[in-house]
Structure 1
């Protein structure tokens, strides 16, 4: 049997292979693989009726749900390119992604977390100009599709797409025309210059990431997978939704992480797999409900970051009852790069991010000279192989900076690789930090602060946090005649950027420390913030 080379082909194969096995459980909704296939086909026909053509892009701005799975897979089935959007983004951030990706359709969950996402998007679109009926100001968008219990005015309900596309024929032929080397998805990741970059990935690359992860973690159709990672994230989509298609495991998505609810789901549904950032497992262990929850069904945990406390892994194995903890490293540009392996010694699992996955090369390079370093010597981690992205959307300069002519990807992370090939992240070349599993680039936050009245300049750094991994600390120089407060700084940012990007600590300072070249000494600020928080 030929291995499916596209996401639509993988869905069709799953519907045949796993048929009546459960594919998805979300509250009162349960879909088996054949039912999932049918729902995707109906939705894909609706997309075509709304004007989608093969190669067009579709933005999906919604929390984890069974509807997201159907809406997202239907994009590929209709021959389109999926563009997942961060649910924490504000309207202006989403409008930027919609415009740059030239989206033909937008799928939006209106009302999530008490917000009016459709109104936010319309307001941001209107500020960009005129033209277009669905989103004035974004004239390429043909329609907005609503996910959820309510349908915003002027949008099309996802549930109505089946009827809308009833007259569309040969949807399976459209799906079959998709090629393995076609672009499957564009995932936007923040850039060091403060503007997000769209990572281009083909169908065969997306499937390769899902397959290497499921093989390494020994995922089967008997597994029940709690999906906490957002579907807009590479781990939620590729190591979540697509991993289910290639392994037959059942997905149990969470719209927003809540430790008590997650524990209840683990016990009630006898869940076996829980991937997530270290903060997820901290939260489960520290929850008041943990002591009375039966977690004996848990089999596999997959986690990773620059720093995973060995004690946390010990507690995951001993207290949360996981049989296997796999540490890993990846990035949007290469979703699954390194993984520990089943049977690895505890020291490897607790102190490293594992070894390069099948088909991927890894090396350590002196960032100043480009010289390849020997085992155990620190340098920039670089990767090469078939899962490395195609490049950045409409940004050949950034692509050339990220990928060498011979295919080596600059990760921007400093680390070491030991004689056995196990990699340890030690620091970052990029000025990025990871808050609760999400990348935060200080340049973007600093750019937002520059628009606040009373601010002369600002610098943002990441500092360690036991629960979130790292959080932001902002050092703000205000004008001499300003009475700006730290609370006002936070309030201003909360209105303009996603919550995970908003610094948890704000310090008003008379000036920023600089070196002789007038560059801000961020290591000094980081040390200062860490000392104050200790």
Structure 2
């Protein structure tokens, strides 16, 4: 353990919140619109919701799905569900009907908490399409839905009561009776740090999501050490516009801030102008986001009108960052101690992090070194042997952050976590002599052209140097002769024009022939996950359609 960081004490999230609320009772915990919630109030509302859920019959190990944009009620639910030993299942608010049904069904969800609507999306109406039985049901009766047979209760947060659903406020009221306080204490005392508290579904950049089973200790320790590395204290305020349904929100943000008594300044969704106003108004010191969010903030026409001098640190993650953007975040935005994190849902989610005093080169050329209590290594994907410094291989990690496994997917779990407890991430990396890792691509992204391995990241990094290119993604597409060939999807900078031949020629000047993309397509509409990652499996579908390759399979390679 690094001497400068305090150790995490294994405990349940409910016990952790009790301690924090006692220590920082009258300090603000959550700011949302005109609401200012102290840690005392947060604790009281969490306890009431936890008791209300117990009175509805939610038991230890039961799955409670939360389908809601960033509201304080999301955080109340996160801790209330943890307190009673149930399991939260965050659901992406961008999901449509079939995706919602898949998650609720696959996770064995018994209770669903949702927001009524956001902008033009009517979540309650969408659920009614899957569960039309709700329309004629009494709100206080158990749900009987043919397509979701395990679902017992639906709780709706919003201005209007939806048919067949309990109101969130009613469940809080149900838990307000102090006569039930002892039952909550007894239930909470049964919860162990190694119990699963969250089934968090992978973001879906490569296909159908899988539910990673994460324990109290997995995500509690992970959030704690991220906060320690950023030197968070009760004097810090963290602007939160990354979605709470993603680990970036519910772990990196909430579970880094709350154990340190910091304040969460919550925005319902990302809007650059609103974020700038909130940072200046609340004097936020900590900022999170993917590079595209930071770019949107920096390029906002009113950026220079706001006083952002309070900013100090934060996390940038999810995609590579250029030197120019990093310099602007550090020096123009003022977050001079910004850090980079790296990992995946399956490791709660962070395995490595740069340090606040690392030189800028390390923050853009690496993803940091192992966080405290975590082991990381590079292995040969074929032999499993550990590789020396400078050799490319698969990133593997072991420690308090590794999930228990994928929910109801034992074969996939066995493929991901080896008998010695190492999580095999599928990420390709190299490590330097100081333990700093640099990502070079994904094993699954790799394609084989005429017998030669091609790593799309290498081609992408070259194309990012083209003066007209704003965004790029490279993938392999089927070819009857060579097995696979490269295809580059390219977004040009505003006002630029470019032909496919120019892109191909630019690559040919710097790359071996087998690495040069055969095809180039221009786009300005990327299929993205909620946190700004390009969904390459969707690009693959688009490529096959555009090139007429739907009936062509990849050639198998020995």
State the TM-score bracket (shorter-chain normalisation): 0.7 to 0.9
Aligned to 1:518: 555
Return the match for 1:11 from 12, 17, 23.
17
TM-score normalised by length of structure 2: 0.78
Matched, 1:316 2:338: no
Aligned to 1:417: 431
Aligned to 2:443: 429
Provide structure 1 residue ranges, at least 5 long, that are not aligned to the other structure.
435-439, 447-458, 468-485, 521-534
Residues 101/378 of structure 1: CA separation in 2 closer, same or farther (3 Å cut): same
Superposition deviation, residue 168 in structure 1: 3.4
Matched, 1:200 2:213: yes
Matched, 1:386 2:404: no
Aligned to 1:341: 355
Please say if residues 227 and 274 of structure 1, whose CA atoms lie closer than 8 Å, have aligned partners that are also in contact. yes
Return the match for 1:56 from 62, 65, 81.
62
Aligned to 1:252: 265
Aligned to 1:152: 162
Residues 157/405 of structure 1: CA separation in 2 closer, same or farther (3 Å cut): same
Q: 1:181, 1:392 → 2: CA distance? A: 15
Superposition deviation, residue 194 in structure 1: 2.9
Secondary structure, counterpart of 2:314 in structure 1: strand
Aligned to 2:413: 399
Residues 464/188 of structure 1: CA separation in 2 closer, same or farther (3 Å cut): farther
Mapping of 1:28-427 within 5 angstroms? 28-125=34-131, 133=143, 135-165=145-175, 166=177, 168-170=180-182, 171-190=184-203, 194-334=207-347, 335-427=349-441
Secondary structure, counterpart of 2:315 in structure 1: strand
Q: 1:516, 1:92 → 2: CA distance? A: 26
Please say if residues 352 and 370 of structure 2, whose CA atoms lie closer than 8 Å, have aligned partners that are also in contact. yes
Please say if residues 46 and 80 of structure 2, whose CA atoms lie closer than 8 Å, have aligned partners that are also in contact. yes
Q: 1:337, 1:461 → 2: CA distance? A: 31
Q: 1:68, 1:466 → 2: CA distance? A: 38
Q: 1:267, 1:110 → 2: CA distance? A: 30
Superposition deviation, residue 509 in structure 1: 3.8
Residues 416/2 of structure 1: CA separation in 2 closer, same or farther (3 Å cut): closer
Aligned to 1:531: none
Aligned residues: 473
Secondary structure, counterpart of 1:159 in structure 2: helix
Please say if residues 324 and 342 of structure 1, whose CA atoms lie closer than 8 Å, have aligned partners that are also in contact. yes
Provide structure 2 residue ranges, at least 5 long, that are not aligned to the other structure.
1-6, 447-455, 458-472, 478-484, 494-520
Q: 1:301, 1:248 → 2: CA distance? A: 16
Residues 500/93 of structure 1: CA separation in 2 closer, same or farther (3 Å cut): farther
Superposition deviation, residue 283 in structure 1: 0.5
Moved more, 55-64 or 93-102: 93-102
Give the aligned CA root-mean-square deviation in angstroms. 3.4
Residues 291/2 of structure 1: CA separation in 2 closer, same or farther (3 Å cut): closer
Please say if residues 91 and 117 of structure 1, whose CA atoms lie closer than 8 Å, have aligned partners that are also in contact. no
TM-score normalised by length of structure 1: 0.81
Q: 1:14, 1:217 → 2: CA distance? A: 19
